[in-house]
Structure formats: structure tokens, C-alpha cells
Amino acid sequence: MAGDFYEVLGVPRAASQDEIQQAYRKLARKYHPDVNRGPDAEERFKDLNEAYSVLSDPRTRARYDRFGEDFRKIPEDFDERVAAGAGGGYRTRRTAGAGGPRVRYAGGFGDDFGAEGIDIEDLFGSM
């Protein structure tokens, strides 16, 4: 996948579902391998399909907007797990000059998340 899904479709982040669909249809016609024999047309068409599949579904789009390109690495029920305590525990610690507590999640995601002791600030710090 090359680039941000919104850039792939050429729409702003605030685009409506109709705008996303219109942009996809226009570009899909242009880059469909049966129509466009260009060397990059097939790859571009695949990128368009991936971007549209994510942005056309409101729940998937919300996860993409929140977590960026790593949205697939975050469990779909992340918010529910956090709200329920996820079977693990939270530890708060202050760090020098940080200006506030840092929260570390200690377990509960199991093997499907692949990490013990996740620093929530590090996970979302780039946002």
C-alpha cells in the first residue's frame, strides 16, 4: 500500500461517504486493468480497492482515522477491552518533565496483540 488512504482516493479527511464513493468509482474506471494497460495500473487499482474497502466502512474508517496505518494491529474491540479493564491492570507513573502521568497497560491483550506492558502514550504519541 502506497500512501495514506485519503490521498490514494484524492479526498480530504472530512470527505462524506458519497464523496469517497464517487472518487473511488472515477479512479477505478481510470485504473481498471481491463481499461488501462499502463505498467502501474494494476497496482494502483489494488491500492484503490484497499483504500475504498477501509474508508467505505464507517467502523473501519473510524479505526483508521484514530490509529493510522497501524489500525489493523489494534484489536477491533480495543475500546471495550480498555473500558472493561481487559483482564489486566493499569499502572500510572510520573516521568521527569512529562507534565502528567503515563499509563502502562499490563496484559490482557494476549497473543493477538503481541506485547506485554504496552505504554499507551507511546502507542498513541504520534497522533
Q: What gap in Å lies between CA 123 and CA 82, rounded to an integer?
A: 14
The pLDDT, as a whole number, for residue 90 is 47
**What is the number of alpha carbons within 13 Å of residue 21 lying toward its C-beta?**
6
Task: Flag whether pLDDT at 12 surpasses 80.
Answer: yes
The pLDDT, as a whole number, for residue 74 is 86
The pLDDT, as a whole number, for residue 84 is 82
Beta bridge partners of 93: 102
Q: What gap in Å lies between CA 48 and CA 69, rounded to an integer?
A: 15
Q: Which residues of 9-29 are buried (b: 16+ CB within 10 A; e: fewer)?
A: bebeeebeeeebbebbeebbe
Q: What is the mean pLDDT of the chain?
A: 78
Q: What gap in Å lies between CA 44 and CA 20, rounded to an integer?
A: 16
Question: Which whole number is the average pLDDT over 81-88?
Answer: 70
- Mean pLDDT is highest, among 21-25, 87-91, 103-107, 111-115, for 21-25
Q: What is the pLDDT of residues 37-84, one digit of tens each?
A: 888 999 999 999 999 999 999 999 999 999 998 899 988 888 888 888
> Positive or negative CA dihedral for 78, 18, 52, 122?
negative
Residue 60 vs residue 107, higher pLDDT = 60
